[in-house]
Structure 1
């Protein structure tokens, strides 16, 4: 009965957030199209600011939508053409985020390549898309927003030959096309060759299923640690609670029982929130009992406004859900109690028992999880750099004579991107926890630097998804054109490999920097090993091997090289309409690849600058020397080589 009621509530909330998200998508699309179509800078900046504000709201709605849908079993009609609402949301969210990235990369407004004809086409696409979104009866039906063939040709043929000269605009049109096409989904795998090859191998599939089934019955290390933590905390809480008072000792165990959460949480913040919530709830209960002491039967009435107040506490940063629940439970026993003695005495005894239980909870958490959130955030940052190296290493242009490798290449990039996305999500959780936890005698956690790096890494995750998608389609188009494009693809392949050769060493260096505990410890280790240094130049023997990305010049060089290759593709002669369509699609996908790779490098440069700033804050001594990344690189590489 209760589960059914909760399911109805979750379903109602999910549908409400779904509709709000649909409206948000429509408004963001309108603002993005108005921004790129604006005829003056003031109008473009105004709409772009609105789009950024709506993007933040949309992200929150998307998370609330997913959390509500995870709590219910979503019933879909038995229609093979229907797709999961979460997939629909993802299909719309990814292209819209791509548009945001494209607009943020535009250097000036208005965009020069957007003429009157293209502006009319964009506004026409907006009208067609919004017309479908405005149909509330079809919110959970398949979204058929494909334009007719004529409109598609307008975007594909007339626009790309102007837009490819400006990569942000070309990428914006690329995302718009993905949003309009029903069959295009960046988040899904369009290449099924790898899946089919795995399905063909029946023996491996059977053993894999047996292994997965067996692993479900074997408790994980996380489950065992959590079980140990629960039993040890409850045992200590009941032991010391009953030692303090045999009559009310069970309250210490109750306080601990409602504190358990399988997820990692800010220990000190959660303990403080629960303690404050218990105290506030107890005081409210005592005051309510004093007011209604003559009307005993009406003592439960004050719970109604307190439950309403609970909803505000639940969403507050100070108390959160943990403190809000403790506040409600703190007031409920006092107002609903009988034969427990005077309210003041009972409240004081209960607060004392709760304090005992929470102290036991805090001690066990520190013993079993000694790593600080700030340390875990830095470790997670290092792992993310390692995952980013793997992703970039899997970016490649498959030329026609190597098409048999195209499936595994794009699929490996998707798997690496998925792994990196998980690492970035975990890193965000550690950052949130580190910002809430006190620093004590440790160095303060500089959340601003981590937040900026997290923003760049999240953007890189989105860009890698577009890279994998464009790689898959370039491979498919290469099979159609055969060997006539080999020379152009060879040049593009060399360009991509050159970028990888420059970027991967920098990421390796950033990974090693985040692995060291302290630059002071690094200096001590160098003195202990007696590493030689050139007295005249003040440099170490391996100083010549250091290379870092050279800022905007590096990005401009990459962009120019891609533009040159796109010019070669555009100037390639075609004999019929089919070849012209293939050339247009090649321009679209190569424009996407060029934009994404150049912006990947741009975001990595931002991360490097933020990490340099973070190093200054870590040590807080001799800042002029710490900013010398070349010296740090030499010292780390010498220690690694020895």
Structure 2
């Protein structure tokens, strides 16, 4: 039900966006074609008015549009002042092709260098630079030093004004209501997933359980998209309601609040994937009743999320039921290692119901960070004013990424303007304008984006020519044919083949032919513009290759090694601290390492997506299947690491009351953790080293060249078989899990003899059981990582026997030497 409604809602949103784009383009068209003479004279670049409109209004809310208008104003200020000064100093009559290209390159570099400026402001500024420089060359001495830049600014303002007006009619399209609607869809999605996962847990056979799990997986993908949509619209909502910044500065954003629901549901899925058979052995009738009651209470929490309320566990209405006072964790007694996934399933449901132990103290964490920051600042002030000034100066300097981005924009735009003017002086705008709206801070699939823009430009131009041919005698009606094309390109924007780049080029290509007058024969103009666009795209591709020669496939491999390194660092921080003062620091450090791992996994996902789109040329094809499997394992391990952080935090809080009792088991549990870290940490180190090898043949030659021998019997990995896998086996997994379960039972018995609080005792037992499940799952996932890595390496080296342990020994011998 929710999935179908979501699909219909997406269709309506895209159609509404298309209609508002039509309205904005109609306002620009009517103003430049049929408006009063003063308006037409001042806005003498209608093409750029259309470009500004498309950039601002496409898939936007009122908040996005207001931000777009602010960016347009900022871009105008950045470009107009240097342009007037440059025209005054040089003189319009002295501008030639080379000088125009140089001025465009220098100005573009100045605009692109600041990191704080929004990308849309930079794109609009680049377009203004092209029009000012090329227009000066075309009109020569007749160009007005002040009026020419003013005409460009007026055309930009017309596009921005049309965007705002279109967003207000017939009613404002507010990001606040979009977020509210998306929150409702997400809550329905989460409710469906919860029901499916509970049904899978209570299923009477494996077939039914797996069917429910598979159905829930598709909903997980939809839920992730909804969360991303909410996150993207949050800034727009703050533009619409700036009072939120002042009256509720410490409140969590909607996406962060909903993420607190997403994490436990993801944990429930992980636990079900670890169950070997269904029905689960430990479930009984009383436990089933409590499970249904907990599900109902969580359902009430999700109802509040539908209304975009400030939902929290303390505000959930209570259900009057005899099972309400009973806890899942107290009723679920673990008798064997096979019951651990079920126990973790109950723990995740309690997290959904009661919230996280760490998130409730988020304000304290923020205040503590602010306090630490203030102490650092005050300490630095005591070191002297000269050092303080030096530090401030270093902070102002742009980063290397910003410098490379500015250099790319500068060279690309300069070359496009130069060759565009050389090819066709009267239409030299289009080579530069084509790439002015193409730049992106982050990496993108260069060839794919350029191909989409080229195809979009050709499609839009051909559509415009056909419309001109069919309506030869009715020139005034040509503009009406833009309406279906704008709707088509609005949906094209969300396609895999063309995306944003292709759709923008397609709609602008038709607008420049059907939305203007007095530009010559449509066919000749279209051919010239397509050629000019190709010149600009060639310049764009060449500069991208020269500035960033590394392929996405190479970067994905490097990022995979960095993700493994981040995972190894996170595993090293898994420890139970006896010192009360260091507990919060250790817990926060583990959380920071998990966040670092998540960011690396996200980068890996982006590189994989880019590598899938880029052409292979003469390189080895990119094995997207293997990389996707590795990405899935790393994502799972990142989630498990987060739960480990929660477990350790909960244990630290719960164990404070039982200091003497807890100290008896503290050292034993840390010994188990150290053994786990030794085994899994070595595996991660080995994986990182092996995946970093560029060529096994080069490694063999280097060993022979240096006359280095290696002995696998003397490798770094202790005991067992030489030809075994690097990662722990299933016996190790079960040994770790059974050890943690044994410790939890011992702790429970010890606390019980001391007449401890039942609820607190249950909390410690559940945390220990859950920690054992997470640690064993991390160990099992390490084995999966090894299989996936071997599959990737075997695909790359089909004639070679892949033994990660042997390769690791070779590397060890080479580096020791």
Structure 2 length as normaliser, TM-score?
A: 0.73
Following TM superposition, by how much is the alpha carbon of 1:146 offset from its aligned partner in structure 2, in angstroms? 7.2
Q: Once the two structures are superposed, what CA deviation does each residue of 1:50-81 show, in whole Å capped at 9, x if it has no partner?
A: 22221121111111221222443174494699
CA shift, 1:579, in A, is 2.6
Q: RMSD across aligned C-alpha pairs, in angstroms?
A: 2.8
Q: CA contact under 8 A between 1:90 and 1:187: conserved in structure 2?
A: no
User: Which of 66, 73, 76 is the aligned partner of 2:238?
Assistant: 73
Asked if residue 560 in structure 1 is aligned to residue 738 in structure 2, the reply is yes
Match of 2:553 in 1: 374
Equivalent in the alignment of 1:634: 809
1:418 matches 2:589: no
Question: 3-state DSSP class of the match of 2:655?
Answer: helix
Aligned equivalent of 2:197: 32
Q: Distance in 2 between matches of 1:8 and 1:207?
A: 49
Larger radius of gyration: 2
Please give the secondary structure, in 1, of the residue aligned with 2:327.
Answer: helix
Shift of 1:41: 3.6
1:167 is matched with 340
Structure 1 residues 553 and 70: alpha-carbon distance in aligned structure 2, compared to 1, 3 A threshold: farther
Indicate how the Cα distance of structure 1 residues 526 and 70 shifts in structure 2: closer, same or farther if over 3 A, else same.
Answer: farther
User: Is the 8 Å Cα contact of residues 655 and 662 (structure 2) preserved in structure 1?
Assistant: yes
1:101 is aligned to 270
Q: Which residue of 451, 457, 464 corresponds with 1:272?
A: 451
Contact 2:182–2:226 under 8 Å retained in 1: yes
Summarize deviations over 1:207-262 as a string: whole Å, max 9, x none. 67979976663322111111111111000001111111111111100111011111
- Contact 2:290 2:328 survives alignment (8 Å): no
Look up the match of 1:258. 437
Cα contact 2:710–2:810 (8 A) shared by 1:
no
Of stretches 514-523 and 143-152 in structure 1, the one that deviates more from structure 2 is 143-152
Distance 2:363 2:202 in 1: 34
Residue number in structure 2 paired with 1:219: 398
Q: Which moved more, 1:190-199 or 1:485-494?
A: 190-199
Do residues 467 (structure 1) and 467 (structure 2) align? no
Structure 1 residue aligned with 2:758, among 561, 580, 584?
Answer: 580
> How far did 1:121 drift?
0.7
Displacement of 1:635: 1.6
Q: CA deviation at 1:36?
A: 1.3
Q: Distance in 2 between matches of 1:137 and 1:313?
A: 30
CA distance in 2, matches of 1:494, 1:195: 34
Quick one: structure 1 residues 123 and 519, their matched pair in 2 at CA, closer, same or farther if it must change by over 3 Å? same
Question: Residues 365-394 of structure 1, C-alpha deviation per residue, up to 9 Å, x if partnerless?
Answer: 000001110111111111111111110000
Deviation at 1:540, TM superposition (A): 8.1
1:571 match: secondary structure: helix
1:479 aligns to what SS in structure 2?
Answer: coil
The question of whether the paired residues in 2 share the 8 Å contact of 1:82 and 1:142 is answered with no
After superposition, the Cα gap between the structure-2 partners of 1:559 and 1:208, relative to the gap in structure 1 and judged at 3 Å, is farther
Distance in structure 1 (CA, Å) of the matches to 2:742 and 2:639? 25
Shift of 1:529: 1.4
Deviation at 1:96, TM superposition (A): 0.8
Partner of 2:353: 180
Deviation at 1:609, TM superposition (A): 0.9
Would the alpha carbon gap of residues 82 and 516 (structure 1) be closer, same or farther in structure 2, given more than 3 Å must change? closer
**Paired residue for 1:450, among 627, 637, 644?**
627
> Deviation at 1:532?
2.9
Aligned to 1:511: 688
Q: Deviations over 1:522-552 (max 9, x none)?
A: 1222222122367xxxx68648767722432
In structure 2, the CA distance between the partners of 1:35 and 1:152, relative to structure 1 (3 Å rule), is same
The superposition leaves residues 375-426 of structure 1 with CA deviations (integer Å, 9 ceiling, x where unpaired) of 1111111111111111000001234xx3332122111111111111111111
Give the Å deviation of 1:263: 1.8
Asked whether 1:44 is paired with 2:219, we answer no
**Structure-2 change in CA distance of 1:274 and 1:202 (3 Å):** closer
Instruction: Name the structure 2 match of 1:308.
Output: 487
Task: Provide the secondary structure at the position in 1 that maps to 2:752.
Answer: coil
Q: Residue 471 of structure 2 is aligned with which of 265, 282, 292? A: 292
Quick one: distance in 1 between partners of 2:717 and 2:266? 40
Q: Structure 1 residues 292, 530: closer, same or farther in 2, change over 3 A?
A: same
Q: Which residue of 2 aligns with 1:548?
A: 726
Residue 529 (structure 1) aligned with residue 706 (structure 2): yes
Give the match's secondary structure for 1:574: helix
The change in CA–CA distance for 1:97 and 1:379 in structure 2 (over 3 A counts) is same
Residues 578-597 of structure 1, C-alpha deviation per residue, up to 9 Å, x if partnerless?
53222101011111211111
Structure 1 pair 613/81, CA: closer, same or farther in 2 (3 Å)?
closer
- Please, which of 307, 330, 335 is the counterpart of residue 509 of structure 2? 330
Hey, what's the Cα distance between the residues in 2 that align with 1:14 and 1:475?
37
* Residue in 1 that maps onto 2:606: 429
Spell out, residue by residue over 1:89-125, the C-alpha distance to the aligned partner (whole angstroms, 9 max, x if none).
Answer: 1111111111111111111111111111011111112
Deviation at 1:133, TM superposition (A): 2.8
In structure 2, the CA distance between the partners of 1:543 and 1:603, relative to structure 1 (3 Å rule), is closer
Deviation at 1:286, TM superposition (A): 0.8
CA 163–62 in structure 1, closer or farther in 2 if over 3 Å, else same: farther
Deviation, 1:83, is 4.2
Q: Please give the alpha-carbon distance, in whole angstroms, between the structure 1 residues aligned to 2:363 and 2:668.
A: 25
**Aligned pair in 2 of structure 1 residues 559, 379: CA closer, same or farther (>3 Å)?**
same
The answer to whether the Cα contact below 8 Å between 1:146 and 1:180 also exists between their aligned partners in 2 is no
219, 230, 252: which one aligns with 1:54:
219
Q: Deviations over 1:126-174 (max 9, x none)?
A: 2222234335784323332376797565115632434886111111111
- 1:440 paired with 2:641, answer no
Q: Is the 8 A contact 1:340 1:346 kept in 2?
A: yes
CA offset at residue 487 of structure 1? Answer: 2.2
How many Å separate the matches in 1 of 2:191 and 2:357? 18
In 2, Cα distance between equivalents of 1:84 and 1:286: 48
CA contact (8 A) 2:282 2:332 kept: no
- Report the Cα distance in structure 2 between the residues aligned to 1:20 and 1:495, rounded to whole angstroms: 43
What secondary structure is seen at the aligned counterpart in 2 of 1:88? helix
- Distance change in 2, residues 1:339/1:79 (3 Å): closer
Residue pair 1:160, 1:584 contacting (<8 A) in 2 also: no
- The aligned counterpart of 1:204 is 376
Q: How does 1:241-252 map to 2 (within 5 A)?
A: 241-252=420-431
In structure 2, the residue matched to 1:608 is 786
**Aligned residues of 1:392 and 1:504 also touching (Cα < 8 A):** yes
The SS at the match of 2:667 is: helix
Within the alignment, does 1:569 sit opposite 2:786 as a pair?
no
1:194 and 1:408 in contact (8 A); partners too: no
* Distance (whole Å) between structure 1 residues aligned to residue 308 and residue 519 of structure 2: 55
Inter-partner Cα distance in structure 2 for 1:328 and 1:314: 10
Q: 1:326 Cα deviation (Å)?
A: 0.7
- Aligned residue-pair number: 632
1:344 maps to 2:523: yes
Supply the distance in 1 between the matched residues of 2:305 and 2:714 (Cα, whole angstroms): 69
- Aligned-partner Cα distance in 2 for 1:565–1:578: 17
Contact 2:290 2:327 in 1 (8 A): yes
* Aligned counterparts of 1:315 and 1:483: Cα–Cα separation in 2: 61
Distance 1:359 1:466, change over 3 A: same
